[in-house]
Amino acid sequence: MTERTQRHRRARHATLRLVAVLLLLLSVLPAAVASGQDADAEPVDVPAALGDQLAALPGLTTAPVPEGAELPDGMTAEEVAQMPDRSKVAVVSYEVQGDTINATVQLPASQATFISSGQPNTNYAGLSTLNLGWDQNTFDAMRVLLQFDLSPLPGNAQINEATFYINQSYINPPSDGSSMDFRAQFMQQSWNAGSVTWNNANYLGGDSLPLGSIPPVTGWVSGGATDVVKAWDSGRPNYGLLITGDETPSRGRWRQFYSRSIPQFAPYILVNYSANCDTAAPVSNMGALNSFEPAEFQVKWSAYDPDQPGCKASGVAWYNVRYRINGGGWTNWKNQSSSTENHFKGWAPNNSTVEFQVQAADRAGNLGAWSPTVSTRVDSEPPVATVNPLPEFTVSPNFTVTWSGTDNLSGIAYYNFQVRKNGGDWQLVLSETKATSYQVTGGQLGDEFEFRVQAVDNVG
């Protein structure tokens, strides 16, 4: 009797045997949203359409002749004053055909001077002339430096033709009846007409353009400039040109041209171009990101291309998207892509901050600015959850199971809690719960219970 009672007591104490099992999981619940630019927001400032811009620019005008200016033989100051001013930007003509505009504009020289090997430390910006070639008396080799301001050209201009004009005032020797060949080189860095000399600029010439030729006549001479204007308009740095003529010492050939001191004789370029009337670049924005994202997450972007008075927007053509990690250098991610979303696939380590920007170009060729930055932190490690220790045996049919979890970044969103009885199938008794305890009731003699919990964090 005593032995049976002890066995029974042991059996009752063995009624509930509890096993705690650990499981890890990631979360699918949304996190707090970081602010971003409204995709439908219109830009604050919309530039005038190209037709309106051209209409607002001056046409060819006249200008007073500087007092004491040395004029060409046989010309009076009154006559020169009636000639077009070549020192200012001017619209010569333009025509609107639907969304396309064809225009011819005058672009003046913004800087003009010459340098001399015979006077290598002398600056000649104060002179009213430009010398080119070889002077046997004082200057030796003489080279011309010119720069033109192309900023009046719209960003989407297609250059059809460009012609360079310069006014030749003197030929040496006077009996020289031959054209003078010249070589023009792209300047490789910026310079200042007021301080440039042979010693600080002679070596700055870079790539050469095809040889040109200056006829032996005084007055306006011209030459093709289409290739050089196209190069500058396509993004080549516009530092101007270094021009070299015939520098054969024994021949002593040199030419003299008017500089910028007399507006009517200043060097200039006539540029004919075609362009879409749309001059407003798209305004881009990144889609908002969660405060925390998993290792792989979706990134979205968009852009708005505004209409202009009298000109319908050409529409967004493509996007550039870039990112950086923890404030480092920007990495180009999508280049000239037509897509508006993509997966960012595990390129950032856990607990790193990732920032994104986008810019868009429209079909007229206008490239917008980079958007405001949006950012997120990567939470790529799962939370840890555990069932708190339980006694191996219990005599009560009712008892409480508790658990806890930790997550160092986005935080725990919820738990899933499962029970298995007597080696059967696992049963989900609490789903997506924030609770951290569960009351077991109705245990029977000899029942064996197992418990496990999974924690889900705020990035899934």
pLDDT (tens digit per residue) in 137-186: 999 999 999 999 999 999 889 999 999 999 999 999 999 999 999 999 99
Q: Residue 263: what are its φ and ψ, rounded to 5°? A: -55, -35
CA distance 40 to 45: 15
Residue 145 is predicted with a pLDDT of 98
Do domains 2-27+383-457 and 283-378 share one topology? The answer is: yes
Q: CA 458: distance to chain centroid?
A: 34
Q: Average pLDDT in the 71-90 region?
A: 95
What strands lie across the sheet with 341-345, from one edge to the other? Answer: 283-286, 296-304, 341-345
Q: Other C-beta atoms within 10 Å of 93: how many?
A: 12
Domain residue spans of the chain: 2-27+383-457, 61-276, 283-378
Say which range, 37-46, 198-207, 318-327, 344-353, has the weakest mean pLDDT. Answer: 37-46
Q: 384-387 and 399-406 as β-strands: parallel, antiparallel, unpaired?
A: antiparallel
- Return the CATH number of the domain spanning residue range 2-27+383-457: 2.60.40
Residue 33 has pLDDT above 60, yes or no: no
Residue 12 is predicted with a pLDDT of 24
CA distance 215 to 163: 16
CATH of 283-378, one of 3.60.90.10, 2.60.40.420, 3.20.20.30, 2.60.40.10: 2.60.40.10
Residue 72 is predicted with a pLDDT of 93
CA distance 97 to 8: 103
Residue 313 has pLDDT above 90, yes or no: yes
Residue 6 has pLDDT above 80, yes or no: no
453 closest CA partner among 411, 425, 418, 414? 418
CA distance 340 to 345: 16
Q: Average pLDDT in the 100-116 region?
A: 97
Environment class of 141 (CB within 10 Å of its CB; exposed 0-12, middle 13-18, buried 19+): buried
